[in-house]
Amino acid sequence: MAPDWNGKAIVIMGVSGAGKSTIGQMLGEALKCCYMDADDYHPQANKEKMRNGIPLSEEDRIPWLETLRDALRRSTGNGGTVILGCSALQTHYREILRSADPSYEPGSYISIVKFVLLHAQADVLAARLEKRAAEGKHFMPAKLLQSQMDLLHIDESEGVLKVDATLEPQAIVNIIIQASIIKPQSQRGP
């Protein structure tokens, strides 16, 4: 029996260049559900800051994350499933996204919103960013990569699935689909 993905949100997270958009789109296609790119929800002012090499402040990030939370709540509220590609670098950012689940109790980490971290070495990520910039495909310059890596923090108790971002994209999607953290309770093993 296939897992029941209804009413779930899976956040593909990590620093810029990790492959969030590629993996998120592929996962959305595999699960026949909506993919949302968090970058599409940034106000123009945030994009300009990043384009100019200025890291975002908390004042920039929090309203953006609240907008994403509200979008997740709308998507999952009617039993829909959604994949979100979002950096979600710190625990309190992920807490905002987890609260898309109206039943979520802060700090419990038990939510319909699940997280998958795509991780890779800094040199791999920088090369990906430089390639994207040369192709004119993204507003995030490679020089902001270190600021994102410095912000990235995951507490093991959060249950974030960590996947090697240097694997082939289809292999990453397969790992996510098979991972017990995103399967419904009825599909989990002992």
**Measured between alpha carbons, how far apart are the two ends of the chain, in Å?**
17
Give per-residue pLDDT as tens, 131-175. 766 666 655 555 667 778 888 999 999 999 999 999 999 999 999
Q: Is the Cα torsion angle 146, 96, 115, 84 positive or negative in sign? A: negative
Question: Closest by alpha carbon to 82, among 44, 41, 47?
Answer: 41
Check whether 184 has a pLDDT greater than 90: no
Return d(Cα 63, Cα 26) in angstroms, integer: 28
User: How confident is the model at residue 182, as a pLDDT?
Assistant: 58
User: Which pair of tokens denotes residue 19?
Assistant: 């492959």
Q: How many helices (H) and strands (E) does the chain have?
A: 7, 5
Domains of the chain: 9-180 (3.40.50.300)
Check whether 86 has a pLDDT greater than 60: yes
Look at phi and psi of residue 107 and say left if phi exceeds 0, alpha if psi is from -120 to 50, else beta.
left
SS3 143: helix
Return d(Cα 164, Cα 155) in angstroms, integer: 18
Q: Which residue do the tokens 């495909």 mark?
A: 137
Beta bridge partners of 84: 11, 36
User: Which pair of tokens denotes residue 137?
Assistant: 């495909």
Top-confidence residue, 183 or 168 = 168
